[in-house]
């Protein structure tokens, strides 16, 4: 796959360094042709800004898909991020089943929850629909909160390896082929990523940085996708994405006025060099 073509489906927050404004440049920097399907357009993201504009593009998605099919456009992968409704999830499942090439990868970031809670616009109906999307995925990239909602498991902030193993087993039972579980911390001051694929468990641990930045989940998932499409193994891609994301957070740490996102652009060379 010398020059892969991937489709990423998520919203455009015009200002705020998240979703498609993160995915497009990061995956492109990995040397992967990046096509987009916007699910909505917002003037800014919704965390910290007020009075933002919002335009729902749900009704445009089927006609875009139909045009691609007419033009015989196929993809080497589909990567999904924030989706706004169960209807959009249904459209995405159809796209994965009809426009992905035979050996293509489906990568699902079930961006819907954190810190033990669903995002405000989501409910249990959305969770059930997301389970269906995970069922057709080659890789799902949930944080622990999202994994708990997807598997009907009690959310815990303190846990052991057995708890994580149970989450992974239940995620695989949904139908996905591989799991990349983020934010897994077994000791104070450290966090990391668990990758489970083909019966093999791997863990990459890194420093836990106290400052949080909006959009780092999108940065991570995009870097993982780009590295995977460049031929890296799932664990290699997960490690590369973690190193890159931590570097983005470090760069942003002392920038008080940059509260709305992470400065991912200055760290792109780090990502490119690792590839």
Instruction: Give the whole-angstrom CA distance, residue 200 versus residue 102.
Output: 24
User: For 259-275, what is the mean pLDDT?
Assistant: 96
Domains and CATH numbers, the chain: 5-274 (3.40.1190.20)
For the cut 60, the answer to whether the pLDDT of residue 268 exceeds it is: yes
Token pair, residue 203, equals 């863990």
Residue 214: pLDDT band with limits 50, 70, 90: confident
Residue 25 and residue 265 in contact, taking contact as beta carbons nearer than 8 Å: yes
pLDDT single digits (tens) 50-86? 999 999 999 999 999 999 999 999 999 999 999 989 9
Residue 167 and residue 130 in contact, taking contact as beta carbons nearer than 8 Å: no
Nearest to 35 by CA among 104, 127, 126: 104
Where does 136-215 have alpha helices with state H?
144-151, 161-173
For the cut 90, the answer to whether the pLDDT of residue 28 exceeds it is: yes
Q: What is the pLDDT of residue 1?
A: 52
pLDDT single digits (tens) 139-197? 999 999 999 999 999 999 999 999 999 999 999 999 999 999 999 999 999 999 999 99
Count the Cβ atoms, other than its own, within 10 Å of residue 59.
9
User: For 110-117, what is the mean pLDDT?
Assistant: 95
Instruction: Give the whole-angstrom CA distance, residue 114 versus residue 147.
Output: 10
For the cut 80, the answer to whether the pLDDT of residue 212 exceeds it is: no
| The residue to which tokens 């796959």 are assigned | 1
Q: How far is CA 170 from CA 60, 62, 80, 163, in A?
A: 34, 32, 21, 11
Q: What is the pLDDT of residue 209?
A: 87
Token pair, residue 258, equals 């940059």
Instruction: Give the whole-angstrom CA distance, residue 155 versus residue 147.
Output: 9
Average pLDDT of the chain? 95
């Amino acid at each position: 796959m010398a020059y892969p073509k991937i489709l990423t489906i998520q919203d455009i927050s015009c200002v705020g360094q998240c979703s498609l404004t993160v995915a497009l440049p990061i995956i492109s920097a990995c040397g992967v042709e990046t096509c987009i399907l916007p699910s909505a357009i917002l003037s800014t993201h919704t965390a910290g800004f007020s009075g933002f504009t919002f335009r729902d593009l749900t009704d445009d998605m089927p006609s875009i898909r139909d045009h691609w099919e007419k033009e015989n456009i196929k993809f080497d992968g589909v990567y999904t991020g924030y989706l706004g409704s169960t209807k959009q999830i249904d459209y995405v499942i159809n796209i994965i089943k009809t426009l992905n090439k035979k050996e293509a990868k489906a990568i699902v970031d079930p961006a819907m929850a954190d810190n033990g809670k669903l995002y405000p616009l989501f409910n249990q109906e959305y969770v059930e629909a997301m389970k269906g999307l995970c069922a057709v995925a080659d890789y799902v990239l949930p944080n622990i909160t999202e994994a708990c909602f997807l598997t009907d498991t009690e959310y815990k902030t303190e846990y052991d390896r057995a708890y994580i193993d149970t989450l992974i087993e239940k995620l695989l039972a949904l139908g996905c082929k591989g799991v990349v579980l983020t934010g897994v911390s077994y000791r104070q001051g450290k966090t990391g990523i668990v990758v489970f694929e083909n019966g093999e468990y791997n863990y990459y641990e890194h420093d836990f940085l106290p400052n949080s930045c909006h959009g780092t989940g999108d940065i991570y998932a995009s870097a993982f996708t780009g590295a995977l499409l460049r031929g890296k193994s799932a664990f290699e891609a997960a490690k590369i994405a973690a190193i890159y994301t931590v570097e983005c957070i470090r760069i942003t740490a002392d920038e008080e006025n940059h509260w709305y996102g992470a400065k991912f652009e200055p760290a792109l060379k780090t990502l490119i060099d690792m590839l």
